[in-house]
Amino acid sequence: MVSDSLGETAEYVARAAASQFNSGRVEIRRVSYVVEEYQIEEIIAEAAQGPCIIAYTLVLEHLKRRLVALAGERGIPTVDILGPMLEALSRITQASPRLEPGLIRRLDEDYFRKMEAIDFAVRYDDGKDPRGLLFADVVLIGVSRTSKTPVCMYLAHKRLKAANIPLVPEVAPADELWRLPRHKVIGLTIDPQLLYQIRQERLKALGLGANADYAKLDRIYRELEYAHGLMERLGCTVIDVTNRAVEETASRIIEIYRRGQRHVG
């Protein structure tokens, strides 16, 4: 099994085919990351020592041609596992394949990184477990209803592990917060009048009375004053989310995080 990536696809196909015969008599050897012609020559020299078939999932045309030519000279049968499917897709889509080795693994890795980031955002939402803060790429802090959770979920889809902590005057922030690099902590703030309206609507949605302390204007001012003081002590960047879309806030956070990473590096 010869591949310019891991070669898992070729091996799966070979094992499936061998299972239709006496597969115990078939030995499968995988040769991964073949990207140079000298590797092809070494493979052919080894294959010529005994009866075998060379199956391959090479996407680079010059390697495929070299493999087929050298194998033909030695009478070694070859099977192009990926080529016929690429040709069929090209005919149907009227498009050319990218012919880049290892694309499926890169796509899989990207997918799993995203799923891991989403799971992280859910697990460490709303200060559930402060131990997770030390493993976050970004930690958002702010009073209730400043879009911390939706921004974290958006960041997760961009493969950033984001946690968030609600700031409440009566509750001291987790000790882990003070141990984070400044570029990883982002404070979110909002106009008090807008926050008042948002909280009023939130209470209505929950079927609660509008006179709850949570939605009183003097309480909101006190919370915001406390949050601003804490953010100042932390020395973190503060973003005003008033009339900002979640996507806009998230894009700004990504920019700040990456700039901080470069600075730290």
CATH number, residue 167:
3.40.50
Q: Tell me the pLDDT of the chain averaged across its residues.
A: 89
Res 149: pLDDT: 97
Res 105: pLDDT: 63
- Which carries the bigger pLDDT value, residue 259 or residue 143? 143
For residue 7, the enclosing domain spans 2-101
The answer to whether 42 and 69 have CB atoms below 8 angstroms apart is: no
**163 and 87 co-located in one domain:** no
**223 and 181 co-located in one domain:** yes
Residue 165, pLDDT above cutoff 50: yes
Residue 103, pLDDT above cutoff 80: no
Instruction: Give the domain-ending residue among 101, 134, 158.
Output: 101
Residue 1, pLDDT above cutoff 70: yes
Mean pLDDT of 65-93: 92
**60 and 144 co-located in one domain:** no
**185 and 212 co-located in one domain:** yes
**88 and 120 co-located in one domain:** no
pLDDT band at residue 23, thresholds of 50, 70 and 90? low
Percent of the chain with pLDDT over 70: 94
Alpha helices by DSSP H, the chain? 8-18, 37-47, 61-73, 83-93, 103-123, 148-157, 192-205, 217-234, 246-264
**256 and 129 co-located in one domain:** yes
pLDDT band at residue 264, thresholds of 50, 70 and 90? very low
Among the ranges given (122-131, 153-162, 175-184, 203-212), the one the predictor scored with the smallest mean pLDDT = 203-212
Mean pLDDT of 143-161: 96
pTM beyond 0.85: the answer is no
Instruction: Give the domain-ending residue among 76, 101, 126.
Output: 101
Among the ranges given (77-81, 86-90, 142-146), the one the predictor scored with the smallest mean pLDDT = 86-90
**140 and 211 co-located in one domain:** yes
- Which carries the bigger pLDDT value, residue 94 or residue 8? 94
Res 167: pLDDT: 97
> Which residues, 6 or more positions from 9, have their beta carbon under 8 angstroms from its beta carbon?
3, 57, 81, 82, 104
**120 and 245 co-located in one domain:** yes
Number of domains within the chain: 2
Instruction: Give the domain-ending residue among 56, 74, 101.
Output: 101
Pairing status of strand 185-189 against strand 138-142: parallel
